[in-house]
Every structure is written in structure tokens, then in C-alpha cells.
Amino acid sequence: MAANWKMNSLPADAVELAKAITDCNWPDILEVLVCPPFTHLESLTRLIPRSFSLGGQHCSDQSSGAFTGEISAAMLKALQCSYVILGHSERRARYPEETTRLTAAIKQAINSGLQVIYCCGEPLDIREKGLERDFVKRQLSQDLFDLEASKMENLVVAYEPVWAIGTGKNASPGQANEMHHWIRELLNKRFGPDSHAVRILYGGSVKASNAEALAAMPEIDGVLVGGASLIPEEFQGIIRAFS
């Protein structure tokens, strides 16, 4: 269960929100991850019990140097992050030039010892034309296929159809399951058995009320949650659904 807080909350709110999440018990087999804004990481490092994982929402494709405003994978690692989200559709849309550096950022993150939550997913017009499989295949081959198979253990894929993000309109469990199956097939074809370690999350308007149906799908290993992760009862409901 990954919470993507995006650019929301102030450090003081973050502590409260994290505390509310810790009130919820979940079985050991479930991993709960919080990806707050960079500025909140340090305070959460001190507060969050180790049963939680922490993650960043982006990192640079460079290791260090004159890159004003950037955050390196090693900096995230030093703040006890174990994950970083890369390729989120909001960044792809706002900073399109960044996509050409996405593979390099993924490599930086993995080489720094982070797990990458790599996001992919089609916009609405592509879905309406029935071309979503081709679109996602192109994203995966452009961004991931250059990696070594041995790096698959550091990869999580989040399928997030753009039309479902923050819109209240989630993909049906069947649509998500079908795409996850396709992604699994593509990874298997390119990377072989090493890809079996990759977890595939669904993201896009996940809330407590639809989490159970998503959790019931065999190909859905977890969820990446935006808006609902900012509402303690909602996120707790999602954790319970997957528990």
C-alpha cells in the first residue's frame, strides 16, 4: 500500500497523518509505504515506526553536482527512504523533457539501493481508441527494457491510467487486472524469470470503497494511492481491504 501525498500538507500535518496511519494494524505480509514531500521526510523518519517504509516522489538522473532544485537518490537513501516514485504521469505531463532522462534516473535510484516505483499508464484518448496495450508497451520498452534483468528485484510497476488519476473515476477491477496481466507478460518476455519478483500496483482513484474489489484481483499486488491517502479513515480502509 503506497501513499503518494504529492504536494500536500505541511510538515506538522504530516506527523499527524503518519500517526493516524500507525494506529491501523496490518499483517506483516503487507508493506505500507508513505511518500511525502521531500521536506517532510526527516520528521517522519523520526516518527514512523520501522514497520513503515518511506519513499521519495522523484529523484535526479544525476548522482550529484550543479543541478539546482534536484534531489539525488543517495540523499533519499540517507533519509532512510527505501523507495522512490519515478515516471509519475503528473511529472510526465508537466516536465515532458524529463522522460528522456527517466531510464537514467531509474538506474541512479537502483544503484543507490532504492526500490523504484515506476509509473505507466495511458491517457483517455488512447483508451477510447483501444490502444492502451500498445501505449503501455511503448512506455515500458522505452523506459525499462534497457535495464539488466538482475535489477528486476528493485522494481515495482504502478499501472496508473491517466484518466483515473484524481478524477474519482477508477479503472474497473477487470480493466486493471487485464492490464497488469499484459505488463507481467511484457516483463516476462523481456526479462524472464527475474521479472517474477516485480510487484504490480494499481493507481487511480483508489479509495476504501473500491479497494476490496481491486484486492480480489489475482494480478493486483497492491495500490498506489493519492487523494485518499491524505484522509486517515480512507487509507486505513484501503489497508484493511488488502489485509
Instruction: Give the footprint of ligand PGA on this chain (CB under 6 A).
Output: 4, 160, 165-166, 203-206, 224-228
Nearer to ligand PGA, 44 or 225 (CB): 225
Location of C-alpha cell 535526479: 60
Contact call for residues 59 and 71 (beta carbons, < 8 A): yes
88 catalytic per annotation? yes
Alpha-carbon distance values, 196 to 44, 150, 192, 226 (Å):
32, 11, 8, 26
Alpha helices by DSSP H, listed for 154-231, are 173-191, 208-215
56 vs 203, beta carbon nearer ligand PGA:
203
State the Cα angle at 198 between 59 and 150, rounded to 5°. 80
Q: How far is the CB of 228 from ligand PGA (least distance, A)?
A: 6
Active-site choice (40, 58, 88, 180): 88
Nearer to ligand PGA, 105 or 204 (CB): 204
Write down the least CB distance from residue 194 to ligand PGA, Å: 26
160 is catalytic: yes
**How near is the Cβ of 220 to ligand PGA at its closest, in Å?**
14
The residues annotated with a catalytic role in the active site are: 88, 160
